[in-house]
Structure 1
Amino acid sequence: MNTSEKPDWAFQVTPFLWAASMSGSISPFQRGSTVDVDKPFSEVMDDLNFGGFLDIWARYDRFVFSGNLMYVDTTDSHASGPLSAFQIPGFGVTIPPGSNVDAKVDSRQFMATLLGGYRVMETPDFTLDLLGGMRVWHVSNDITVSANHSLIGSRTASYGESFSWVDPLVGGRVFLPLTNDFSFQTEADVGGFGVGADLTWSVLASINYTFTDNISASVGYKALKVDYDHNGHVYDTLLRGPAIGVTWRF
């Protein structure tokens, strides 16, 4: 390359579908109990209002940048018969034993991973990028409860809480050309270290097929773990499952 020439930017954007199951423990409200969650992808889809997933990658010379965005909006509704006495945050009274209760929980989770780094190895058969950055989380929950009992009559109340945190990350990205059209890629990170979450990590491994210079498709497996427990909020979950995406390069 002529030393007077400046290296060009390279960008790629990949929207993808992620058939993720969810397992773990969650306490969405500070005064609420912690509940265990174990949902296959079919149950996650039943509750899903909207889900969006996007990968962004850029390179300038040997400097690389990676971003991942996730937004999920779900509604989980329950109609429960006579229950033992319990307290709903924001309800104002303890719901007496034997009450009939309808409950609806709306949950929204936003996650953004932002990484930057340097391509430490680049050969025709192998590239390795070392990365560092952060993962931003925002979780919002709203509950609407209707209770009916002779001692309290019919009551309806709504209550909402949200919490956010930021996790530092370190990671890497490996790219291996397999043929002229096929390639293998994996990107992984780990972080938290008690700064936000106690631990968070993610990994995405995929096989890619190039259709044109600007378009390719990928099929792989993605997992995302976070273990957060602070001020009564617990968000200890593992999302994992196959993922497919289409990449545009420009």
Structure 2
Amino acid sequence: MLHIYRHAIGLTYIALAVVFSTPPVLGADLGGKDTGPSPAIGEWTFVFTTYGWIPWLSGNMAIKGRSFDVQADPSAILGHLDWSTVPAWMSYAEARNGPIGLFNDVVYANISGSKDFARELPGNLPALAGGVSINFEEVIVEFGGAYQVWSGTNPVTAHSAAIDLVAGGRYWHQDVEASAVLARFNVDRSGSVDWVDPFVGARLRQDLGQGDSLVIRADAGGFGAGSEASWEVLATYNWQLPVMCGFLLDGYVGYRALSVDYSQGSGNTEYKYDVLMQGPVIGTTLHF
């Protein structure tokens, strides 16, 4: 989640990853078809997806009791990816056997030295405070299962469709350093946290004919077990690409929104992350 001269480099990096580093499973959230009935029990199918997510971030956060307003567009994120290491990675994998699916989604981003990522909220620093420089590393790992509860013909589209119930956990890791420049000195705040949010939801896999399909998923989680609340909505349009080296390959575009409201501690020990991440996704899915 997270330059244009350097923005263009960042987008090119993501596009190359999307086009050249893929393998699939059926009914993947971020690409993948198989909107009809599940394969027979005992027959495993797999998909692997690499994708790019270009998000806007909005909300607020607090580090050791210091509050910041988070308002970042894709240029603020892509423009400050840390190229000294792997700047970002996003992938989705699913294995399916009959009506049962097991899936995993990984989002990693490392942002360095961004002054467009966050700013002090009023009252947090003296009036002479300058910009806030943020170093932000985030890992989101989703793991869970899906169970197909219905398949048949959608009377609206006259094509096959399937509905899955999904459930699992979403692991979050964040490592944040914020430096606010004052008249003669810096005020630094840092924090590192980990938590896991359980979630439940549903997924629609709709065949559109001629190799095209639509996947819509929504879930809700947190429930106070990790964050206070978390939710996600994802919609992707998928189309079949030419067969590559004997493997079926799909392309897709869509939109993803992920919100979380997490906090721990109080006063000078408070860490808070109440942010909505939303924006387009683009990628490819390999089926094998």
- TM-score above 0.5: yes
1:91-128 superposed Cα distances (whole Å, 9 cap, x missing partner): xxxxxx79897964311011111111311112361111
Q: Are 2:211 and 1:181 equivalent residues in the alignment? A: yes
State the superposition RMSD in angstroms. 2.6
| Partner AA of 1:130 in structure 2 | L
Counterpart among 219, 237, 242 of residue 253 in structure 2: 219
Structure 1 letter corresponding to 2:88: G
- Work out whether 1:37 is the aligned partner of 2:84: no
TM-score (norm 1): 0.80
Runs of 4+ in 1 over 2 A off after TM superposition: 97-105, 142-149, 155-161
- Residues in 1 aligned to 2:188 and 2:56: alpha-carbon distance in whole angstroms: 28
Structure with higher strand content? 1
Task: State how far apart, in whole Å, the 2-side matches of 1:172 and 1:101 are.
Answer: 45
Q: Which residue of 2 aligns with 1:94?
A: none
TM-score normalised by L of structure 2: 0.70
Pick the structure with greater CA Rg.
1
Amino acid paired to 1:115: G
**Residues in 2 aligned to 1:134 and 1:143: alpha-carbon distance in whole angstroms:** 29
Of stretches 199-208 and 119-128 in structure 1, the one that deviates more from structure 2 is 119-128
1:61 Cα deviation from its structure 2 partner = 1.4
What is the correspondence of 1:193-232 to structure 2 with a 5 Å cutoff? 193-211=223-241, 212=243, 214-231=248-265, 232=270
For the residue of structure 1 that corresponds to 2:65, the secondary structure is coil
1:199-234 deviation digits (Å, cap 9, x = unpaired): 111111011001236100001111111111221111
**Code of the aligned partner of 1:59:** R
Aligned to 1:75, what secondary structure does the other structure show?
strand
Q: Does 1:139 align with 2:177?
A: no
TM-superposed deviation, 1:190: 0.7
Aligned pair 1:163/2:193, yes or no?
Answer: yes
Provide Cα deviations, 1:30-86, integer angstroms capped at 9, x if missing partner.
Answer: 232x111112212222222212211112211111122211111112355xxxxxx98
Q: In structure 2, do the counterparts of structure 1 residues 64 and 144 end up closer, same or farther at CA, with 3 Å as the change threshold?
A: same
Higher helix share goes to which structure? 2
Q: Greater CA deviation, 196-205 or 209-218?
A: 209-218
* Cα distance change on mapping 1:98 and 1:248 into 2, 3 Å: closer
CA gap 1:61/1:98 in 2 versus in 1, 3 angstroms: closer
Instruction: Work out which of the residue numbers 271, 277, 280 in structure 2 matches 1:233.
Output: 271
Gaps of 5+ in 1: 79-84, 88-96, 150-154
**Residue 56 (structure 2) pairs with residue 21 (structure 1):** yes
Cα shift at 1:16: 0.6
Report if aligned partners of 2:191, 2:271 keep a CA contact under 8 Å in 1.
Answer: no
Mark the CA change 1:100 to 1:244 in structure 2 (over 3 Å): closer, same or farther.
closer
1: CA distance between counterparts of 2:180 and 2:237? 46
**Residue 280 (structure 2) aligns with:** 242
Cα distance in 2 for residues equivalent to 1:136 and 1:148: 39
SS at match of 2:227: coil
Shift of the 102–22 alpha-carbon distance from structure 1 to 2, 3 Å rule, reads: closer
Residue correspondences, number:
224
Residue 236 (structure 1) shift:
0.6
Deviations 1:118-159 (A, max 9, x none): 11112361111111111111111234678784xxxxx78976
Structure 2 portions without partners, runs of 5+: 1-39, 116-122, 154-159
For 1:6 and 1:197, how far apart are their aligned partners in 2? Answer: 36
Q: Alignment partner of 2:79: what SS?
A: helix
